Amino acid sequence: MSLNPVRPLADKIRLRLFSGFLLGLVFLSGCGPQYTYPAQTVVQSIKDISLKEYQIAIQARVVGKTAGAIFYVEDMMDDQGQIRREIHEKMGQVMQAVTRVALSTDKPLDYAIVIARDRKNLNELAVVRSIDDTKRASADMIGIEESINRTIFRQGKYRPVKGRSNVFALKEITLPHFLAEQIVQRIRFGAVRETQAGTEDNIEDKLLLVDGVYDVADGSRIFRFSTFSMRSETPGHSILEILKIASAVLKGYQFVEYDQIQIHDYLNRQKLALDRETVSHYQAKRVTEKDLLERFLTESQSIQEAFKLFGFEAPENVPDAQ
């Protein structure tokens, strides 16, 4: 599991992308007795809408219940090293094409993903959306801020496949993995907002590395979250903040298909492991945070092991926490 620091740029990216996406929601048609896009036409329909209505040439695929689209540009960065506004707009337009088709087809689709790549610097942006969340947002069942929080935004680098240009390898998205990634994103963006609200003097103290996965091992379905926080706080605080967000997300989606939540705080060498029943009691406020820490908080790995986990070379003079 690799841990990534929060990035303030991500907040700007998601707001720009989502503003364009929301504008298109009112034009999306819902599913009815007659489907506009039969199952066998989904991929081509996404391509046609993107090209004819937005003049964007894309590749499209469907894997399982995930519909995806990808497009390439020569360079997505401007002279100041920021992502150009037109890239955000194009991603919003392609997402509108994907969701329009997904909402009016007889093919079962649960997720939509749009990816933008640039050939010059190998940058990649992606936005992932639940089709059900799109329906809820369109029906005003969830607000704009919650809709943004339920949309996953990724940024990074991609690795071209030698001898095969513009390869679009799409992996099916499933609900537990979608929720794990969403929980991590909410934690990171929350830390970004705290940092932006602080002063320059305390920004370094708010460094936060966090990651999380949904894992099935030995028959157990586990959400695992890891953090390495340099923020000034009492022991157990980081763990409880992650628990609050994870609990709220799982409750919001009414997701119970898991056996345990594990949260590791590697700086303080602490681990909190809760089974589903205990999390349910916490969600119903039948158990306090103090009780959880007293009953379930245990010692985790050493700081030396944490450095290795993060991919850093561990300094010889860094002692383990006592």
Q: What angle do CA 32, 70, 58 make, to 5 degrees?
A: 80
Q: Which among 196, 187, 98 is positioned nearest to 149, based on CA atoms?
A: 187
Domain contains 318: no
The pLDDT, as a whole number, for residue 125 is: 96
Question: What pLDDT is recorded for position 305?
Answer: 57
88 within some domain: yes
- 194 with 280, same domain: the answer is yes
| Domain shared by 159 and 241, yes or no | no
Question: CA torsion angle for 8, 11, 16, 17 (degrees, to 10)?
Answer: 120
Judgement on whether residues 140 and 251 belong to the same structural domain of the protein: no
End-to-end CA separation in angstroms for the chain: 25
| Chosen domain end from 155, 173, 191 | 173
262 is written with which tokens? 């594990």
Which pLDDT band holds residue 197 (cuts at 50, 70, 90)? Answer: low
The Cα 74–Cα 51 span in angstroms is 18
* pLDDT tens, residue by residue, 64-105: 999 999 999 999 999 998 999 999 999 999 999 999 999 999
Tally Cβ neighbours within 10 Å of residue 190: 16
- The mean pLDDT value of the chain amounts to 83
Range of the domain at 305: 178-310
Contact yes or no for 112/128 (Cβ under 8 A)? yes
Clarify whether residues 143 and 182 are in a common domain. no
Quick check: is 317 in a domain?
A: no
Q: Is 322 a domain residue?
A: no
- For the entire predicted model, the pTM comes to 0.83
**166 and 182, same domain (yes or no):** no
More confident residue, 208 or 17: 208
Decide if 316 is inside a domain: no
User: Which pLDDT belongs to residue 267?
Assistant: 82
In a domain, 54, yes or no: yes
Tell whether 21 is covered by a domain: yes
Inform me whether the pLDDT recorded for 24 exceeds 80.
no
Question: Does residue 160 share a domain with residue 185?
Answer: no
Tell which of 127, 144, 173 closes a domain. Answer: 173
> pLDDT at residue 110 above 70?
yes
Mean pLDDT of 174-182: 98
Q: 204 pLDDT exceeds 50?
A: no
Please report whether residue 57 resides in a domain.
yes
Report the domain count for the chain: 2
For 216-236, what is each residue's pLDDT tens digit? 988 999 999 998 876 556 668
The answer to whether residues 189 and 165 belong to one domain is no
